[in-house]
Amino acid sequence: MDRLNAKLYLQNCFIMKENERLRKKALLLNQENQALLTELKQRRIAKTKTAAPPNNSGNGNAAAAAAAAGHRAPIPDLNAAAPGPRAAGHEKAAAAASPNKPKKAVAN
């Protein structure tokens, strides 16, 4: 029993030492990450300050003006229903609604 207890004690010591090592490594990585994030924000601010103002000549090309100013186009909503004649929206949904194709049996 004492032998098992000593073995478990040594394992526990090893785990605690490894935990402390990993904790220090995580702290260093977090500090590096924060420094990189700050640098990225500073670069982005500097880039927006030096970017030329958009050319609003009234030609209707807002996307080109936004790109020239360093702005990105809005990200499309991929969860929205797709425009077009299909109302199902996805091939699997359309296939599931099709009564001609038999469904596969699933083993329980």
Q: What is the pLDDT of residues 33-52, one digit of tens each?
A: 999 999 999 999 999 888 75
pTM value is: 0.42
Q: What is the pLDDT of residues 44-88, one digit of tens each?
A: 999 988 875 655 555 555 555 555 555 666 776 666 665 555 544
Using CA atoms, how far apart are residues 93 and 71, in angstroms rounded to an integer? 36
